[in-house]
Amino acid sequence: MNSDLQRIVFQAETEFKSAKSLPELENTKSLFLGKKGKLTIQFNNLKGLDEAHRKELGNELNLAKKTIEKTLASCRKKLVEDRIAKKLKSQAIDISLPGRGLNSGTIHPLSLSLRRIGEIFQGMGFEVAEGPEIETDWFNFTALNNPKDHPARSMQDTFYIENKDEFGQNLLLRTHTSPVQVRYAIDNEPPIRVISPGKTYRVDNDATHSPMFHQIEGLWLDETINFSNLKGVYINFLKEFFESTNLQVRFRPSYFPFTEPSAEVDMKFSNGPLKGKWLEVAGAGMVHPNVVANFGLQSKKIKGFAFGMGLERLTMLKFGINDLRLFFENDLRFLRQFQC
Ligand code: PHE
């Protein structure tokens, strides 16, 4: 390459490298490669040369142009990268800062229990279903083999709503979450494994009863389900929930319109402050054939078990709480004792 060209190449490379921004680089580029750029002028001069010189100088000019373009491309790339790096730096967040408001809240003990109960049953393959708190008479009672004027209805006195629903059905605040299971069993095909947690209402108010409380009910329907499946599932649940393999559990005969046979489930701790006392924790039984039929299923073929328990009661036993009203008074001295 002749010395003139070498000078131009050197000059271009130095100027490209000292450009501080992309627009500056593009301006510098035009000084060499633009219409009136130093290299372009050299190309234009080729016209006046004889063939041998034109060929020789032409080759050198092409080489010079390639060298300049290569430097230009790498300078451009560097400026783009610098711009991105600068932007990232200016937008960086310091994730090592401790979060604000840490330790300013706790999870309500009922929510803690509910989460744990959900986890345990989901671990056994149950789904979780929710439903309306204002129910029709049919879903809350009649579908569950508890017809109008049946004395068993008095076990679950509730709050009635004056208006009827769009089909003229009586409305009430649900007394248990069993109606969710009716809805679920009508909408799904067996095998069905579902728990239904939620708020429930009854006309009760003292240290162990509140007009609003929470239930979790469970239902397993399939062709081969029997009472030992109920015992296996429920005893396993209690052991996991109370984190104890030393629990004694008994199924005491009882009556519910929707199950046959029916049982009340009692358990006994082998240590701790409640050691040695039998405590009632749930109602349970084999789903009554009339109820299976109300699900729209063949009661000769499909069997199932159901159980229902009070979330407050289980939580009181788990944490040693002696007054149910504490759950709803929102006293921070009480609530702050529960960390997740
Ligand atoms: N629904 C019953 C209640 O609230 C509990 C229960 C559920 C009992 C399922 C047996 C079977 O009293």
- How much distance in Å is there from the Cα of 256 to the middle of ligand 1? 7
The H-assigned helical ranges of 141-287 are 178-187, 227-241
Q: What is the pLDDT of residue 301?
A: 95
Q: pLDDT category, 205, cuts 50, 70, 90? A: confident
User: What are the sequence ranges of the domains in the chain?
Assistant: 3-90, 109-338
Q: Residue of the nearest CA to atom 9 in ligand 1? A: 307
- DSSP per-residue string spanning 202-235: -S--BTTB-SEEEEEEEEEEETT--HHHHHHHHH
Q: Is 15 in the pocket of ligand 1 (CB under 6 A)?
A: no
Residues 178 and 306: beta-carbon distance below 8 Å: yes
Ligand 1 center–CA 265 separation, angstroms: 11
How much is the pTM?
0.70
- The residue nearest atom 2 of ligand 1, judged by CA position, is 308
Burial of 300 per CB tally in 10 Å (0-12, 13-18, 19+): exposed
Using the predicted structure, report yes or no on whether residue 75 has a pLDDT greater than 80: yes
- Taking residues 212-216, report their average pLDDT: 95
- Say yes or no to pLDDT of 209 above 90: no
CA of 312 to the centre of ligand 1 (A): 15
Mean per-residue pLDDT over the chain, rounded: 92
At 94-145, the pLDDT tens digits run 888 777 766 678 899 999 999 999 999 999 999 999 999 999 999 999 999 9
The arrangement of secondary structure in 109-338, i.e. its CATH architecture, is 2-Layer Sandwich (3.30)
Q: Distance between CA 262 and CA 259 in Å, rounded?
A: 5
Nearest CA to ligand 1 atom 5: 308
User: Three-state SS for 326?
Assistant: helix
Residues 29-40 pLDDT 10s: 999 999 999 989
The residue with tokens 């407050």 is 312
The predicted pLDDT at position 103 comes to 64
* Alpha carbon of 308 to ligand 1 centroid (Å): 4
